[in-house]
Amino acid sequence: AHVVNKIAAGEVIERPASIVKELMENSLDALATRIEVEIVKGGSELIRIVDNGEGIHPDDMLLAISSHATSKIKDADDLFHIHTMGFRGEAVASIASVSRLHIRSRQPDADTGREIEVRSGAIGEVKPCGCPVGTRMEITQLFGNTPVRRKFLKSLGTEFGHISEQFSRIALANPRLHAVLRHNGKTIYELPASENLLDRIHMLHGKELTDKLIWIEAEAGPCRLWGYVGHPSLSRSNRKLQYLFLNNRWIQDRSLQHALGEAYRGLLMVGRHPVSFLYLEIPPETVDVNVHPTKTEVRFEDSQQLYRLLLSTLRTKFLSIDM
């Protein structure tokens, strides 16, 4: 099982940022309203995620770190009605197999918490401990037992850049989440819970960008589309600033990206990657999110309809604004 875990880990845990993503998603699944991410040296030294979610039941502490154990899917049918972020039950096990992992967790109705430590796959005992309600995951010695992988980590700045990007995606997908990111003791982002998406974009990307955004919104049947796109006079063009969220999760979609490019074609915009913060809400049963382990690509039942919706919404909008 040890070897299998390490192989599986390669797929899910590519770098420190993958850990941050998986653990923040677990916190969201546990209904956390606040997540603090603490990083030391690009994650190579420490990754600590603290949430105020519903915690792990004492009897489930061991289950949480075993491979393919998930509390989120009961049968194959559930695969078609995914409302939670995680559903494969492999992230925590994979993380534990390539690092030292310490978990501390307490449920709201329990008077003490439980802790457990896993060192390169060697599982310690579950012990009682005092801790606040919620879960704290602490990862040290990342890739300590796989020196080759450790060597392949890029500079600490680059790794932190990837972490910051994952953090931003989750923060943008969940404006009502209080999210904090620290690196080497310094607060990088402190984002209070907010109803206002623009506030959040502002805090993450600055005023210069938010001043040049246009609100769009549209509906087609059960599908809703809304968000901000760059004014055609905005000269910033960057693939990284093309955010697309599907039912609260960051995704990548070539077809929709193409629609975006098409809508701007011939306009003043410089560059091929117009800035966008787009949100799609569609019935979960009309999309398959189970195509790839990292779950960023999806398969829509009717991708043509979404393509047309995005393209026509943007074209109509651009006709109505001053260029």
Which lies closer to Mg ion via its Cβ, residue 92 or residue 269? 92
Cα–Cα separations (whole angstroms), residue 219 to 233, 257, 287: 26, 19, 17
Name the closest residue to Mg ion (Cβ).
86
Q: How many C-beta neighbours within 10 Å does residue 147 have?
A: 9
Which lies closer to Mg ion via its Cβ, residue 206 or residue 293? 293
The single residue among 16, 43, 86, 121 that binds Mg ion, judged by CB under 5 A, is 86
Q: Which residue stretch of 89-97, 99-107, 154-162, 290-298 sits at the interface with Mg ion (rule: CB under 5 A)?
A: 89-97
Which lies closer to ligand ADP via its Cβ, residue 28 or residue 225? 28
Which lies closer to Mg ion via its Cβ, residue 166 or residue 313? 166
Nearest approach in angstroms of CB 84 to Mg ion is 8
Q: Within a 13 Å sphere around the CA of 175, how many CA atoms are in the beta-carbon half?
A: 14
Residue 104 to residue 82: CA distance in whole angstroms: 27
**Site residues (CB under 6 A) for ligand ADP?**
22, 26-27, 29-30, 51, 53, 55-56, 60, 64, 70-72, 86-93, 135
Q: 144 is in the binding site of which of ligand ADP, Mg ion, none (Cβ under 5 to 8 A by kind)?
A: none
H-helix or E-strand spanning residue 253:
none
In 3D space, the residue among 201, 244, 61, 225 whose CA is nearest the CA of residue 136 turns out to be 61
Cα–Cα separations (whole angstroms), residue 276 to 107, 216, 224: 38, 10, 16
Is residue 84 exposed (0-12), middle (13-18) or buried (19+ Cβ within 10 Å)? middle
Which lies closer to Mg ion via its Cβ, residue 26 or residue 97? 26
Which tokens hold the place of 276? 């966008």
Which lies closer to ligand ADP via its Cβ, residue 48 or residue 88? 88
53 binds Mg ion (CB under 5 A): no
Show Cβ contacts of residue 58 under 8 Å, excluding neighbours closer than 6 positions: 110, 114, 126
Among positions 91-110, residues that touch Mg ion (CB under 5 A) are 91
Name the closest residue to ligand ADP (Cβ).
86
Q: 71 is in the binding site of which of ligand ADP, Mg ion, none (Cβ under 5 to 8 A by kind)?
A: ligand ADP
Positions touching Mg ion (CB under 5 A) are 26, 86, 91
